[in-house]
Chains A and B, each alone.
Chain A
Amino acid sequence: MLLKLAWRNIFRNKRRSLITVSSIIFAVLFAVFMRSLQYGAYGNMLKNIVSSYMGYVQIHSKGFWEEKTLDNSFSLSEIEQLKKQEGISYLSPRIEGFALVSFSETSKPVAILGVDPALEKEHIKLDQKVVEGNYFSDTKKGLLIGKGVKEIMKLSIGDTLVFLGQGYQGSMASGAYPIVGVIDLKTPELNKRTVVMTLEQAQELFALPDRVTTAVVGLYHDDWQDAQQETVAAIDTNMLEVMNWQEMLPELRQLISIDRAGGTFVLLILYSIITFSLFGTVLMLTEERSFEYGVLIAIGMEKNKVIIVAVLETIIMAIAGVVAGLFVAFPFVLYFNINPINLSGQMQEVVERFGFEALIPTSLDPSIATTHAGIIFVIVLVVNIYTLQKIKNLNPIKAMRK
C-alpha cells in the first residue's frame, strides 16, 4: 500500500515529478559527459605515448638519459630474462643516435632511430605511418625518413643518403642507405629530424654489434607502475636504468595532473550546483506537501510510514532520473568518442609538441557512468534527509493551518 501511495504520488503531480527527474537527468548527463571527456583526453594522451616511440617504460644503460651517447649502450642479453616476466609482452630494442646526413649539396644533422621492423610494425604500427613508398621488408632495407626531412633536403624515394657521425667507443660512423619510404610522425618537430633504419643497419653504422641504447618494455596492460617494478626487480640496476613515461616526459605528466586537478575542481563545483539545485527542488516539494503529510499524521498514520512513502517516491524518481540520465548521456559520449573534439590554440600547441594528436575522444569506460550515476543517486538520497527530518518534526496542526 505504501508503494502504491508513493507510485501514485509521483504520477499525480507530473510537473513536480518532471522537475525532480529532469534535474537528476541533467546532473547525470553533465557529470558523466564531463568526466568521460576528461578521462578520454587523459587516456588518449597515454595511448599516444604507447603508440609513439616512448612506450610507458624504457630500459637504458645507466646514464643514457642524461648523456645520450652510444657509449651508454647495453647488450640485449642483459635483459633477455625479462621476457619471462608475467606483465611484459615484448621488448623492443632500439638504437637512438645522431649523425650528419648528406645528399648531393645539402647536409643536415638528424636523429637516427634503429628499430626492429617486425616488432615496431606489430606493436606501434610504424608501418601505418608511412605516407609514401614502403615500410621495411626483407628485400627492402633502407631508410624511412620524416616528411620534414624530405622537404628540407628535397629528397625522393630511392635516393641514397650518406651518413657521417661518431660511432661506438670513438669509432667513426659512416654508411650509405637508400630511402624506401617517408613517414609522417604527426608533429613537425619529429618529422624534421627523424630518420628510421633497421636495427641491423644502425648497429652496422655505429659499429655497435649486438648492442642497443634503448629497450621499450611492452606491457600486457596499461598498468605501467607494476611493469616498472617488475622490470626493476628482474634486471641489474647497477648497469641499467628503468624509466617510466612520467620520468621521461615530466612536462606531459604535469600537464595531465593539472588537467586532472582542474577536472576534479570543476566536478566539485558541478556537484555543489547539483546538490543545491536538488536541495532546492526537495525544499519546494516538501513545503508543497506538508499539508498532505499533516493530514496523514493527524488521522493516524505513523510518521515512519509517511517517511517510507516519501523515501520510496525519492528512490523511484532517483532511479528513473539516473537511468534516463545514462540513456541520454550515452549517445552524447558515443558521438564525441567517434567524432573527437578538436583542440585548438595553446592547448593544441602544447599537446602537439609532445607528439600527440590534438584530439579528445570521450572515454567509453562504463565505470565513469556507473560511478557518477551512483554518486548522484547518493546525493539525491542525502538531500532527501531534509524531507525525512521535516516529516519527523512535523506538527500536523501547524502543517494543516497553512
Chain B
Amino acid sequence: MIQASNIHKTYNDGKVKVHALRGIDVEIKEGEFTAIVGPSGSGKTTLLNIVGGLDTPTLGEVHISDTNIAQLSENELIDFRLNHIGFVFQSYNLIPVLTAKENVEFLMLLQKRDEEERNERTTKLLKAVGLEDQINKKPNEMSGGQQQRVAVARALASKPDFVLADEPTANLDSKSTANLLDIMLRLNEEENITFVFSTHDQRVIDRAKRVITVEDGKILSDETR
C-alpha cells in the first residue's frame, strides 16, 4: 500500500516559487488500476515521482509498503525503488545498448537473482507483452509501442509492489496505446499487478478502474468505477 498524506511540493525555480502540489492525501492499494488525470502542469508527474520515492515532498509523509521513505538514505532509497517500485517513463526508458531481453534482465541482475530465474522470468514477461520474437532487438530497432512494452516488462521483472507509469502512452499512436493498455489490464487482472499511471488521454482514462483527477496541485475528484 502507498499512503501519502498532506503532500506539498514547492519548486524553487530561480526566484519564482512553483507550488506543484498543495496538500494531497491519497492511498493506493495492491491490485489497483489507477489513472492520475489532469491537464499539463497540474502536478501529475510530481505526484507520481513522490509516491514512487523518486522525489521528496516539501511537506507531508509518504509510506510505501509500510516504509516511511523519508527515513531512507539515498542509497537505501535507490535499493528500495529497485525492489518495490517498477517505473515506466514517457519515453527513452530503456538502456540503449542492451537488447530487449537484456533490458528486462537488467534489474534482476542488480537484484542478484540467479540465472535460471532470470531467464525464465525474462522469457515469460516478454511473452506477456507480446514480444517473444523481438528479444534480441536493441531499443532503436523497435517501434515506440514495442519499446514501451519492453519497459512494462522490465518494470515487472524486479517483482515490484507497484508499477508507476508517467504518461506511458503519450508518444504512442492509438493502436499502440490500445495494445499497451490491453497488456497492462491483462497483467492487472491475471497477475494482480498494481498499476498507477498518469495520462490526459480520454481513451486511456476510460479504461482505468480508478480515476484521480488533479488540478493545480490538488485532488479535484477521486472515483472508483
Question: Chain A residues in contact with chain B, CB under 8 A?
Answer: 1, 5, 8-9, 11-12, 291-292, 295-305, 396-397, 400
Partner of B78, one of A5, A8, A9, A302: A302
Partner of A303, one of B75, B87, B93, B97: B75
| Cross-chain contact B97 with A12 (CB below 8 angstroms) | yes
| Cross-chain contact A299 with B82 (CB below 8 angstroms) | yes
| Cross-chain contact A298 with B81 (CB below 8 angstroms) | yes
Question: Chain B residues in contact with chain A, CB under 8 A?
Answer: 49, 54-55, 74-75, 78-79, 81-83, 85, 87, 89, 92-93, 95-98, 106-107, 109-110, 154-155, 158
| Cross-chain contact B97 with A298 (CB below 8 angstroms) | no
Chain B residues within 8 Å of A12, by CB: 96-97
| Cross-chain contact A299 with B97 (CB below 8 angstroms) | no
| Cross-chain contact B78 with A297 (CB below 8 angstroms) | yes
Give the residue among A296, A300, A301 with the most B Cβ atoms within 10 A: A300
Partner of B110, one of A11, A300, A396, A397: A300
> What total of A-B pairs shows CB separation below 8 Å?
56
Q: How far is the CB of A301 from chain B (nearest CB, A)?
A: 6
Partner of A300, one of B78, B92, B95: B78
Chain B residues within 8 Å of A302, by CB: 75, 78-79, 110
Chain A residues within 8 Å of B154, by CB: 299
Q: How far is the CB of A188 from chain B (nearest CB, A)?
A: 68
Chain A residues within 8 Å of B109, by CB: 1
Q: How far is the CB of B79 from chain A (nearest CB, A)?
A: 7
Partner of B95, one of A296, A297, A304, A400: A296
Of all chain B residues, which has the CB nearest A8? B97
Q: In whole angstroms, what is the CA distance A300 to B74 when docked?
A: 11
| Cross-chain contact B89 with A400 (CB below 8 angstroms) | yes
Q: In whole angstroms, what is the CA distance A8 to B106 when docked?
A: 14
Partner of A5, one of B82, B95, B107: B95
Beyond A300-B79, A300-B158, A397-B54, is A295–B97 a contact (Cβ under 8 Å)?
no
Of all chain A residues, which has the CB nearest B46? A397
Known: A295-B93, A301-B82, A305-B110. 7 other contacts (CB 8 A): A8-B98, A12-B96, A296-B95, A300-B158, A303-B75, A397-B49, A400-B89
Of all chain A residues, which has the CB nearest B77? A300
Q: How far is the CB of A86 from chain B (nearest CB, A)?
A: 61
